Structure 1
């Protein structure tokens, strides 16, 4: 019961916590519920918790940390505080009679959480992916905290503290994953819209089907401004380019498409997106370019939010994670050549 009361104090707005009817009754008379382990039927003790997708210095994070982290990603995705994600939370019974003997499955003593509400715009594959990741996150948290319980009995106060810690930790870990999937879905939608809107444009922006497919990697001494990073993604659709953008010091851009489109794309970036930057600061180094049999990527996307940032200013990506991410697309060998590692 203490966990529910604490959650109510953490999320006091009317639409943030929706109690099960049985839970509301139990809160009115907790001694009766705890004495006989019965809520008047087979209804479970639980609630639905709706939290903002955009963090407000929430549990486990210091206020203000989100500018370059999850809140920055939420801003890129156009997420305000009114966009919620919902969690259905079911609590284990408090009565030893209902818990059964010491051989009872440990899972019956754990808080059970499921995703009950996700932002609009996600497709079925996104939902399936997030549901699986949500299960993985819960297993990992329980593995690290040892909160699966034990057969020797648990102390009531510790159980309540473990419940709260488990709930808040799981929420903190899954929220950026939801944002990441949502942002990728929005980028793919935008790419499709741009491709449709440019289908009738002049032939100068259309790829030459006789040109071979190529992949190129470009380095920037520094890439940090959110609007310019966004332009690198959105401008790519003009020339049917795919790949990825990694911000930081240095910044990295991967381009896939028909070769001559690369130059037209970079010309637009320098003249339009970078129009306010002195020419001597528009330094771009093409590390490598080679022909490819097919594309590794279906869209142009930014991956900065997927990589841990290090350094004094938190602007140097963890290259080990970049290598692991590229390996998913079969590009591990190219990472070594491009990064000199």
Structure 2
């Protein structure tokens, strides 16, 4: 596969699924978790922390040295494949929160567990697959209806109310959690009027400063509310299309009246199903004369949606 993908899909970036990587080494990791009480927390923190490649490599080196795992075969294999599955190495690639194939795998699990059996005839299999699809569509419609109502916000900040109105319920919940976690950080101004440094701040009395010494990296954030420009060197928005903890920290500091509309991708909003023809950045693509290059595809998609609704 690694050789065929560049030849057949030259514009595609090939990465490994993190979910499958963790599943492959699940049993061995369980042994390490049991042997070292703090290993799991530190290991998962390194994987989930918005690190840059240099900080990730330093953190990994600290981890294997702390637990004397420099010659551990599993850790060595994970390290050798790091650029294929650690997000720090491909943050400039837009993945829309799909950094693993877990969603398709979970769908296969739902299908096998509740609808089909290995001994079923082909015609029954097809009928059960259709029943599974209809069940999933019904649940999606229920979630869509739930998202139409605006949830109660945790604060009275204008930008949070704006998020609750525009984002779907699931995405807003995730962003609200990021608002809470963003309080773990502190900001300080720089010489530039729109530039800040955001750094992790340990609460008084916590002794994790030595354990997570690499987390002291200061992330450079550009925040210009007037022009709706928000950028962070961790590149999470570029990678997933949602603001990182560092930008959320600056929003809490500036408290703008509105959430920057430029930074809300259509795929995460309540109107995502209307006019679904967009490129990977969710912006309409147009030809040099201003007409849509995807007009035919748009018409076909609209007809397809109409047919599905009438079923």
Specify if TM > 0.5. Answer: no
User: TM-score normalised to the size of structure 1?
Assistant: 0.22
Q: Which has the larger radius of gyration?
A: 1
> Going by fraction, where is helix more abundant, 1 or 2?
2
> Going by fraction, where is strand more abundant, 1 or 2?
1
Structure scoring higher RCO (CA < 8 A, sep ≥ 6) equals 2
